[in-house]
Amino acid sequence: MTFLDDFMIRAALAGIGVAFAAAPLGCFVVWRRMAYFGDATAHASILGVALALTFDVSIFSGVLVTALLMASTISTLSGRGYAMDTLLGVLAHSALAFGLVAVSFLQGVRVDLMAYLFGDILAVSRGDLAVVWSGALLVISLMWWRWSSLLTATLNPELAQASGINPQREQLVLTLALAVVVAVAIKVVGVLLIAAMLLIPAATARIFSTTPERMAFLAVLIGCGSVIGGMYMSFSADTPTGPTIVSTGTALFAAASLVAVIARSLRRP
């Protein structure tokens, strides 16, 4: 029996891979206040699943292309007089609805919608694991390569322009990274929980961080801790694994917020 024959080990490695990819990207989502942007991109992935099954291509390819198209559409329309929150709300719910309707038209194909909506991390295969870590390494490489430029464009677009950095190009890098994260995470936590994996570790890390690099590092640790802790709780209590992972991350966020409140109150004279 080889190391990867144990389904729990494959599940843990897949979850950690998603955490490594989502955590640093989630920091930029938090800094740029792009929570709904991630949500809309994730919801569009159900339509990608339907298209992938229709044209008999890999789920990863269908989700990646659809997520890229959704993210590009949002980026294009956001500068043309549309209110961002309204635009994201319309596109997010419309994409999810169209995806669910498209799946219902598939003939002779059995689709487990619950697995795509909430994830099925315990069913991750070796091939899925390779896809998850390939996507994670791509996202980590993009973040490492463009970190300084992304950070400058996020904090001060005018300074970025003056420094020869194109904010639109950096937005495109984030869009690509977000689409990749959605494509690799759909198997692990599902459509409805992807945004949570992006936001919760980053929001928790922000409480204890004084620098962007520290926040990204802590977000990775918190994301991995949520995966391992969530899997343990799921195994012990016989609960759905994906939602339990997110619930564990939420508990960490609540605990961190409470500690921060207590620390602030103790510092007061």
For 50, 59, 191, 239, the CA distances from 56, given in Å and listed in that order, are 10, 9, 21, 32
Asked if the model's pLDDT at residue 13 lies above 60, the reply is yes
Please, which pLDDT band fits residue 1 given cuts at 50, 70 and 90? very low
Amino acid identity, position 224: C
Predicted confidence (pLDDT) per residue in 81-118, tens digit:
566 667 777 887 888 888 888 877 877 666 677 777 88
Nearest Cα to Cα of residue 44 among 60, 26, 64: 64
For 57, 107, 139, 173, 219, the CA distances from 53, given in Å and listed in that order, are 7, 10, 26, 28, 34
Predicted confidence (pLDDT) per residue in 140-155, tens digit:
999 999 899 999 988 8
Q: What angle, 0 to 180 degrees and rounded to 10, lies between the N-to-C axes of helices 7-31 and 212-237?
A: 140
Predicted local distance difference test score (pLDDT) of residue 3: 64
Distance CA 62, CA 40 (A): 16
Predicted local distance difference test score (pLDDT) of residue 109: 64
Asked if the model's pLDDT at residue 9 lies above 70, the reply is yes
- For residue 210, give the DSSP letter: S
Predicted confidence (pLDDT) per residue in 49-79, tens digit:
888 888 888 888 888 888 888 877 777 776 6
Predicted local distance difference test score (pLDDT) of residue 205: 95
Nearest Cα to Cα of residue 85 among 28, 35, 137, 125: 35
Q: Give the global pTM.
A: 0.87
Distance CA 74, CA 33 (A): 14
Domains for the chain: give ranges and CATH numbers.
3-195 (1.10.3470.10)
Backbone angles phi, psi at 58, to 5 degrees: -65, 145
Please, which pLDDT band fits residue 178 given cuts at 50, 70 and 90? confident
Predicted confidence (pLDDT) per residue in 210-251, tens digit:
899 999 999 999 999 999 999 999 999 989 898 999 999 999
CA 133 to chain centre: 14
